[in-house]
A and B are shown apart, each in its own frame.
Chain A
Amino acid sequence: SQQGEEDPQALSIQEGENATMNCSYKTSINNLQWYRQNSGRGLVHLILIRSNEREKHSGRLRVTLDTSKKSSSLLITASRAADTASYFCATVASGSARQLTFGSGTQLTVLP
Chain B
Amino acid sequence: DSGVTQTPKHLITATGQRVTLRCSPRSGDLSVYWYQQSLDQGLQFLIQYYNGEERAKGNILERFSAQQFPDLHSELNLSSLELGDSALYFCASSVDGGGGGLGYTFGSGTRLTVV
Contacts and interface: CB of A to CB of B under 8 A. Distances in A.
A97 to B, nearest CB: 6
B79 interface: no
Contacts of A48: 101-103
B99 A30 contact: yes
Contacts of B58: 99
A100 B101 contact: no
Contacts of A40: 88, 109, 111
A92 B45 contact: no
B84 interface: no
B42 interface: yes
A104 interface: yes
B42 A92 contact: no
Interface string B71-115: 000000000000000001010100001110111111111010000
Given A2-B42, A97-B56, A42 B106 contact: yes
Interface of A: 1-2, 30-31, 33, 35, 40-45, 48, 50, 88, 90, 92, 97-105
18 contacts: A31-B101, A40-B111, A41-B109, A42-B4, A42-B107, A42-B109, A44-B2, A88-B43, A92-B98, A98-B48, A99-B45, A99-B48, A100-B92, A100-B98, A101-B45, A102-B42, A105-B42, A105-B43
